[in-house]
Structure 1
Amino acid sequence: MPEAVVMTVPGYWAVLAAVLLGGLAVFAAALDAGLSDRAQGLGGGWGAPLAGTARLLRQRRRTTVAADAVLWRVGNAGMLMGALLMVAVVPLGWWALADLDVGVVWFNAVDVMVWALVWLAGWGANSTHSLVGGYRFLAHGLAYELPLMFALVAPAIAAGSLSVGDVVAAQEGLWFVVWMPVAFVVFLVGVTGFSVWGPSAPALGADIAGGVLSELSGVDRLVFLAGRYAFLAAGAAFSVPLFLGGGAGPVLPGWAWSLVKTAAVLGVLVWLRRKLPALRPDRFMEIGWVVMLPAALLQDLVVALIVVGKA
């Protein structure tokens, strides 16, 4: 197996990581707004994130009777913190904040943390609609999480390591997406899941007055929405070293290729939100357990057989 090509950088580079993650989140929000306006036959829309931010910063915080303010705030703010923890193991070209021996497991552990964060945001408000939204998200989580775990297993098997750097190095000459397309697709579905995006959006459905978002306003709503886009960007960024060869590419430096690939995957995820229906939890669970889980397991089996055959 080729040697790992990822080098760790000092901790103060976390500031740059946060800035880049924020930039990608703003890009996703602007693209989402632009596509929404285009679908309605309107122009513009690209400035919506800035306008929306200014509006929410001026908006008064809503309060509810007997709300658990601490849990409510933890759930909201935790979304942004979770996304930052997730990108800590994502290499930018050949550099990363941390090249953990169990980087793939770290990513999975943080994405599981979203279950608690969204639930706390729904529970803490002490509101019926918000609570129903939290329950909906947990139901969706049961559908996407196990297939996502097995999708993460495929690159780890091929690389013979749980280190993200080793996974990148193992793709020299052939990206994993070429011979692990099922794992790649299941992984992206999982990204939409922990980002409360696309098929998992019923947790924020209009039929329950916005669900988890129903009682959020002002800065609280801004932070939660920013966390959703940040998680979407972090998931897109992690797909690059996992399946798309990391910073490998001609002409451009490795860090540039990492950003280009991340922006491309992120753009596809934003675009697909209007192409994929928001599924009821029971329907999404059926797809997750009957279709995605067996497909991911079959992909792992194929990868394992190929690795054993090469040994």
Structure 2
Amino acid sequence: MPEETVVVVPAVWAVLAAFILFGLAFFAVALDAVLSARAQGGSGGWSAPLSGTARLLRQRRRKTVAADVLLWRVGGAGMFMGAFLMVAVIPLGQWTLFDLDVGVVWFNAVDIAVWALVWLMGWGANSTHSLVGGYRFLAHGMAYELPLMFALVAPAIAAGSLAVGDIAAAQEGLWFVVWMPVAFLVFLIGVTGFSVWGPFASALSADIAGGVRAELSAVDRLVFEAGRYMFLAAGAAFSVPLFLGGGSGPWLPGWAWVLIKTVAVLAVLVWLRRKIPLARPDRFMEIGWVILLPAAVAQDLVVSLVVLWEG
């Protein structure tokens, strides 16, 4: 196991972590708006996060008849807070808020909690469209979650540890993405899945009037949308210590490389949204169980054999 290289910072630094996460989410929203504008032959879009936030804050908050408001809003607020829990174990260079021995398991536990959060939003609104959206998300989740778990196992096996800092330190000289491309790809699919993003956004599609967000308005909708983008940013950030060498890189300090790599992965995920069509839950379930899961297990087997050979 590699030597400990991570320094735990005081809790007050959580404020900085929050600002960084907000900044990454802001970048994702702005880039998404710019790409949308260019696809329609226009320009601009970088101010979309500010204008969209102002519009929703001015909007009147509404609710459906007989809605379970507590469950409904717990789901939205949980999406907002869950991303913070993810980034708490990600080292920014050599610094981290929590250096958990089971950081990979922590990440996986938070992403599984998204199942409950999105479902609560679909159920609590007391709306047919919202409920159908919740079921669609659960169908996607059944297909991406198990392959994602096995994708997370691969770097942990190679590093001999579940601590995120140890996994990043174990990549000195060769990033895991080089010899674990399948695990990296499956991981990114899982990130888009629990972010309700891109091909996995059928829970929010127009054919069910917006699905789980059909009845959301004002600050409720703002919190949910911010949570989606923050989860996407947190997932992109987690890929850096897992597969992209953490803060390793020439000339610049480690924290700068973590941010640069995170922005690069996040930009690719945002860009791909327009390149890949929505995945029907029933069809993706077949892909997940028949292709992604065996591929992730095979990747774990290859990594295990390499570790045994070198050991």
TM-score, length of structure 2 as denominator length: 0.99
Query: Could you say which residue in structure 2 is the equivalent of 1:38?
Result: 38
One-letter amino acid of the structure 1 residue matched with residue 130 of structure 2: S
One-letter amino acid of the structure 2 residue matched with residue 26 of structure 1: F
CA distance in 2, matches of 1:6, 1:277: 40
Query: Could you say which residue in structure 2 is the equivalent of 1:140?
Result: 140
Query: Could you say which residue in structure 2 is the equivalent of 1:216?
Result: 216
SS for the counterpart of 1:131 is: helix
Query: Could you say which residue in structure 2 is the equivalent of 1:190?
Result: 190
Query: Could you say which residue in structure 2 is the equivalent of 1:69?
Result: 69
Query: Could you say which residue in structure 2 is the equivalent of 1:120?
Result: 120
Q: Contact between 2:136 and 2:202, CA under 8 Å: does it hold in 1?
A: yes
Q: Contact between 2:80 and 2:224, CA under 8 Å: does it hold in 1?
A: yes
What displacement does 1:117 show? 0.4
CA distance in 1, matches of 2:254, 2:80: 26
CA distance in 1, matches of 2:211, 2:21: 26
Q: Contact between 2:2 and 2:159, CA under 8 Å: does it hold in 1?
A: no
Q: Contact between 2:80 and 2:223, CA under 8 Å: does it hold in 1?
A: yes
CA distance in 2, matches of 1:110, 1:170: 24
Post-superposition Cα deviations, 1:11-59, rounded to whole Å, max 9, x if no partner, equal 1111110110000000000000000011010111111111010000000
Higher mean Cα deviation, 147-156 or 41-50? 41-50
CA distance in 2, matches of 1:27, 1:112: 25
* CA-based RMSD: 0.6
Query: Could you say which residue in structure 2 is the equivalent of 1:254?
Result: 254
CA distance in 1, matches of 2:40, 2:78: 33
CA distance in 2, matches of 1:104, 1:233: 17
Query: Could you say which residue in structure 2 is the equivalent of 1:94?
Result: 94
Question: Which consecutive residues of structure 2, in runs of 5 or more, have no partner in the other structure?
Answer: none
Query: Could you say which residue in structure 2 is the equivalent of 1:81?
Result: 81
Superposition pairs of residues 1-311 of structure 1, within 5 angstroms: 1-311=1-311
One-letter amino acid of the structure 1 residue matched with residue 11 of structure 2: G
Post-superposition Cα deviations, 1:75-112, rounded to whole Å, max 9, x if no partner, equal 01110110000100011111000110000000000000
TM-score, length of structure 1 as denominator length: 0.99
Q: How many residues align?
A: 311
Q: Contact between 1:5 and 1:168, CA under 8 Å: does it hold in 2?
A: no
Runs of 4+ in structure 1 deviating by more than 4 angstroms, as ranges, are: none
Q: Percent identity?
A: 80
CA distance in 2, matches of 1:67, 1:36: 34
One-letter amino acid of the structure 1 residue matched with residue 302 of structure 2: V
SS for the counterpart of 2:142 is: helix
One-letter amino acid of the structure 1 residue matched with residue 118 of structure 2: V
CA distance in 2, matches of 1:254, 1:166: 15
One-letter amino acid of the structure 1 residue matched with residue 66 of structure 2: A
What displacement does 1:4 show? 2.6
CA distance in 1, matches of 2:103, 2:22: 22
Q: Contact between 2:24 and 2:233, CA under 8 Å: does it hold in 1?
A: yes
SS for the counterpart of 1:25 is: helix
CA distance in 2, matches of 1:248, 1:51: 37
Post-superposition Cα deviations, 1:207-229, rounded to whole Å, max 9, x if no partner, equal 00000110001000000000000
SS for the counterpart of 1:43 is: coil
What displacement does 1:276 show? 1.0
One-letter amino acid of the structure 1 residue matched with residue 258 of structure 2: S
CA distance in 1, matches of 2:273, 2:43: 20
